[in-house]
Amino acid sequence: MIAELGHFALWMAAAASLLQSLGLLGRGIERLAVPAALAQALFAALAFSGLAWAFMASDFSVRLVTLHSHTSMPALYKFAGVWANHEGSLLLWVLVMALAGAAVALAPPALGRHFRARTLGVMGSVSVGFLVFLLLASNPFARISPAPTEGQGLNPLLQDPGLALHPPLLTIGSVGLSVAFAFAVAAMLDGEVGPRWAKAVKPWVLAAWSFLTLGIALGSFWAYHEPGWGGWWVWDPVENAALMPWIAATALFHSVALLAQRDALRAWTLLLAVMAFSLSMLGTLIVRSGLLPSVHGFAVDPASGQFLTVLIALYVGGALGIYAWKAGGIPSGESFEPVSREGALVANSLLLASMLGVVFVGTFYPLAREGFAGNRISVGPPHFNATVVPLLLVMAVLMAIGPWLSWRSSSTTHLASRLLPAGVAAAAATLIALAIFDVRSTIALLGFAAAFWLGGSSLHLLVKQAPTLGSAGMALAHFGVAVSILGATASGALQSEALVTMRVGDRVGFGGWQVELIDVRPVAGPNWTALEAEVHFSRDGAAIATLRPQVRSFTRPEMETTEAALHSLWWGDFHAVLGKPDGLGKWQIHVWSRPLIRLIWLGAFLMALGGAMAIAGKARMRLPSGRTAYPSAFDSRPVERVGPG
């Protein structure tokens, strides 16, 4: 019964989204948009709850529950199992879309009721397509009869706390970009784009971006401790599918900042807003259709690819069509000198667009190649490392300088003294890496230099020039980028690893440590049994850490998974994986030391926190006094106003 109610609620949500899309038309019907958006959110939430109930209650008469759940699973994974499949993850997608619409409907209409109705209309018309797709081609509530008494279980690789957090955060982030998309389409239709529009859209972009940042970071951390996925970032198509909207959104809120402050780059900002959500939808297509082969291809339904392709082509094509039709008519904004905050933000856009370009080309090249030349190739880390890393390094250099420049036209005389500490830090870090840690790779040395250069400058900015939450948020987010670069560089350049075979009681040297295999014994979990090794790390006889890597055996479905063991110390992680026995009492053990690796995710967390602070910083600008305390778009005050006159 609950499943039928959920199914019914989904139809009602589709009907409400259809009504909501009428908001596009204006002429009185637009008043429907707000109640329709709220109704859609309510029904989508009901539908989602219905499916969640079916999963929690192990209602195996629902086909989806049978295929992806089992009574023996812990409650957390029963619940998270809702989105660990194609239909359920799309239901989550649609739910987030509806909730974003409700948020827009409930927020004060900064640009007027008419504009809000149009925005909701765009969002409703996107929702309706995906809801129809869900109802007709991927119904999550489909029953099977007779109902089996037990389910087939969830893929054991997905039974990880990461499943509870990573997909929802990623979905909130990428689908949240639909608000900026809708704002852009509505602005193009109304021909009204300027600082007011930019200020209204900014909190939505920043919020979506912060969630997306967290979602990607959590996914990366999950991949780090899951041995089968190759590491924290391997440029897999599914990883790139999340990265591309993130890059576009990053460019978008910088460009929005420029538009809000100086009324420049109008057309480009609109294009970025359209692109960011278009890339999100494209990402959904990549992930759901299995279009590109991926190690993360779980909730895949190849049959749905065509429907999704047509749907997404319609939306993206429609939005770009409106752009092509209207963008020419958008008057160009204010002009500025090349050396200025504006110039720095333009450089940001250019670099991010280039980065987006190389990731896009690398991701889709194999598909194009297969289509035209017929042979199969794959493009992996060597390509992306050779293209993205240089761009990232150039960007880190400029990111340290940009915030110190003032709007319109900036003198450069103050830069030397502002950047001196950062320069000293970068030089010192490079020398230390070279002399003490014996790093010889040029790219790694540049990575250390860039991290300390950007980190030093951002920290300086945070302490000296961050009078509002917004400017502190920007400085903190930039600092976060530096922290992530440092983590990525150090963990790559300074890691050591050893692959050994050991009997119980054997001891081997590894780096400056001794590794001893104490025991291998069977252990049992809620729905698995495992062999667990006990591995001691010590230095000169003093115990440092005990790691317990496992090989788990699940029966439903029948599968073995390798569970890495991690142990965090102040300088980084020990990482151990238990391999296969050779049948003669020896075990394969793979151990790593990974210095500073957690900085990668700490940096991402700082970026997301900075993004959230930048939203709050905006609220502070609207003090009742009507006085804008600080003029900048991220609220960061130019250091010195050295005007042309």
Partner 1 sequence: MAAKPKSQRLILAMLALAALGGAGLLAASALGDTSTYFYAPTDLATSRPEAGRSIRLGGLVKEGSVSRSEDGLTLRFTVTDMVNETAVSYTGLVPDLFREKQGVVATGSFGPDGRFKAKELLAKHDENYMPPEVADALERGTQQMEAKAQSGA
- Dihedral of the alpha carbons of 396, 399, 401, 403, in degrees to the nearest 10: -160
Residues 334-353 that bind partner 1 (CB under 8 A): 334-336, 346, 350-351, 353
Residues 55-114 that bind partner 1 (CB under 8 A): none
Cα-to-chain-centroid distance, residue 604: 10
Q: How far apart are CA 262 and CA 246, in angstroms?
A: 24
Q: How many residues bind partner 1 (CB under 8 A)?
A: 55
Q: Give min distance, CB of 336 to partner 1, in A.
A: 8
Using rule CB under 8 A, residue 379 touches partner 1:
yes
Q: How far apart are CA 418 and CA 424, in angstroms?
A: 11
Q: Which of 155, 210, 458, 489 binds partner 1 (CB under 8 A)?
A: 155
Stretch near partner 1 under the rule CB under 8 A, chosen from 145-153, 427-435, 467-475, 582-590:
582-590
Q: Give min distance, CB of 297 to partner 1, in A.
A: 8
* Residue closer to partner 1 (CB basis): 59 or 239: 239
Cα-to-chain-centroid distance, residue 557: 30
3-state secondary structure of 501: strand
Q: How far apart are CA 503 and CA 179, in angstroms?
A: 58
Cβ count near 137 (within 10 Å): 15
Measured at the CA of 205, the angle between CA 23 and CA 277, to 5 degrees, comes to: 65
Tell me which DSSP letter residue 639 carries.
S
Task: Using the CB atoms, write b or e for 236-261: b if 16+ within 10 Å.
Answer: bbbbbbbbbbbbbbbbbbbbbbbbbb
Q: Give min distance, CB of 563 to partner 1, in A.
A: 11
Q: Give min distance, CB of 295 to partner 1, in A.
A: 7
Q: Which of 110, 420, 582, 643 binds partner 1 (CB under 8 A)?
A: 582
- Dihedral of the alpha carbons of 101, 107, 113, 118, in degrees to the nearest 10: -20
Stretch near partner 1 under the rule CB under 8 A, chosen from 215-223, 381-389, 529-537, 539-547:
381-389
Stretch near partner 1 under the rule CB under 8 A, chosen from 16-24, 56-64, 127-135, 387-395:
387-395
Q: How far apart are CA 501 and CA 585, in angstroms?
A: 10
Q: Give min distance, CB of 406 to partner 1, in A.
A: 18
Residues 444-483 that bind partner 1 (CB under 8 A): none
Phi, psi at residue 9, to the nearest 5°? -60, -35
Q: Give min distance, CB of 291 to partner 1, in A.
A: 11
Q: How far apart are CA 605 and CA 242, in angstroms?
A: 16
What is the x/- site pattern for partner 1, positions 204-243, by CB under 8 A? -----------------------xx-x-------------
Q: Which of 46, 391, 602, 616 binds partner 1 (CB under 8 A)?
A: 391
What is the x/- site pattern for partner 1, positions 535-574, by CB under 8 A? ----------------x-----xxxxxx------------
3-state secondary structure of 297: coil
Stretch near partner 1 under the rule CB under 8 A, chosen from 20-28, 135-143, 308-316, 384-392:
384-392
3-state secondary structure of 183: helix
Q: How far apart are CA 100 and CA 102, in angstroms?
A: 5
What is the x/- site pattern for partner 1, positions 104-143, by CB under 8 A? ----------------------------------------
Phi, psi at residue 72, to the nearest 5°? -80, -5
Q: β-pairing, 542-547 with 550-555?
A: unpaired
Q: Give min distance, CB of 386 to partner 1, in A.
A: 4
Using rule CB under 8 A, residue 588 touches partner 1:
yes
Q: Which of 2, 5, 15, 295 binds partner 1 (CB under 8 A)?
A: 295
Using rule CB under 8 A, residue 332 touches partner 1:
yes
Q: Give min distance, CB of 521 to partner 1, in A.
A: 20
Instruction: Give 371-379 contacts, CB < 8 A, sequence gap 24+.
Output: 378/293, 379/235
* Residue closer to partner 1 (CB basis): 501 or 529: 501
Using rule CB under 8 A, residue 531 touches partner 1:
no
Residue 277, C-beta contacts closer than 8 angstroms, at least 6 positions apart = 174, 177, 178, 180, 181, 245
Using rule CB under 8 A, residue 500 touches partner 1:
yes
Give the footprint of partner 1 on this chain (CB under 8 A): 155, 157, 227-228, 230, 265, 293, 295, 332-336, 346, 350-351, 353-355, 357-358, 361-362, 365-366, 369, 375-380, 382-383, 386-387, 390-391, 499-501, 551, 557-562, 577, 579-580, 582, 586, 588, 590
